[in-house]
Amino acid sequence: DLVSGRVFRLDAPGAAAVPVATVPSGGAGALAWATDGSLLVGYGADARVFLGDFLRPGAIAKLNTATNVLTPFASGLSAANGLDVAADGIAYATNDFGTQIGRVFPDGRVEPNWATLPSANGAVLGADDRYLYVSRTFVNPGVSRIPLANPVAPESILNLSGGDVLAAPDGLTLDSKGRPVVPANARGEIWRIDAPGQYCVLGSGLPTSSVVTYGKGATGFSAGRLYRVGFDGAIYEIPGGFDA
């Protein structure tokens, strides 16, 4: 929760949200699974993110989901608004109100300016960890992928123009075919990028959509089903995004 800094667990669709931890300084941000099985929790995403590149308030804690013990892990990031972890254990963190994308090593060392891309939002790695995919929310809106081997050369795969400029792409994911699925926050739509420069609408009527993700379980939040979380505090399944 961005305001209270609490982390919640949902045991099944329709179940009540159970608070399990609270980050040290509020402004809870992104979540991502670490290679050691702990849950990484980004925080520090409060008003300081507007000066994140200079103040670097972003931090990450590790949550042991068996004990609900939260342990500080890394700090000194522009933000951790988007967060994902590669197979080698290195995490990548973004700030949609800044330009710096940080890299965090398994031992907690931080490289705060691993890459530079204005208003990078969300973070998801491709299946082979070749690219980090990010949305561009406020500056030159669209979607980019950043080669991990050459972070100074980001590649744009969607440039928005006309009425789409104010759509505000937010926290994205990839389907099993490697296609980016991204919520258009201000438009209330969920998009899938089928080819560079082309998208289709998977769902609509959901303003303030913040992030999308695919379920992974055999029941409950089931594998292949697409879920949307919004600033309205609600989670919806998007039937049009089913990943066959």
What CA–CA distance (Å, rounded) separates 70 from 112? Answer: 22
Q: Is residue 222 part of a domain?
A: yes
Q: Is residue 197 part of a domain?
A: yes
Q: How many CB atoms lie within 10 A of CB 132?
A: 27
Tell me the residue type at 229: V
Domains in the chain: how many in total? 1
pLDDT at 47: 83
Q: How many CB atoms lie within 10 A of CB 7?
A: 23
211 half-sphere exposure, CB direction, 13 A CA radius: 16
Q: Is residue 168 part of a domain?
A: yes
Q: Is residue 1 part of a domain?
A: no
Q: What is the CA radius of gyration of the chain?
A: 17
pLDDT in tens, the chain (244 residues): 988 899 999 999 999 999 999 998 878 889 999 999 999 999 988 888 889 999 999 999 999 999 999 999 999 999 999 999 999 999 999 999 999 999 999 999 999 999 999 999 999 999 999 999 999 999 999 999 999 999 999 999 999 999 999 999 999 999 999 999 999 999 999 999 999 999 999 999 999 999 999 999 898 999 999 999 999 999 999 999 999 7
pLDDT at 2: 86
Among left, alpha and beta (phi > 0; psi -120 to 50; other), residue 89 is left
What CA–CA distance (Å, rounded) separates 48 from 35? Answer: 29
Residue 54 φ then ψ, to 5°: -100, -45
DSSP 16: P
Expressed as residue numbers, the domain containing 104 is 6-241
pLDDT at 72: 95
What CA–CA distance (Å, rounded) separates 11 from 96? Answer: 30
> Contact at 8 Å (CB) between 58 and 26?
no
Q: Is residue 196 part of a domain?
A: yes
CATH number, domain at 81?
2.130.10.10
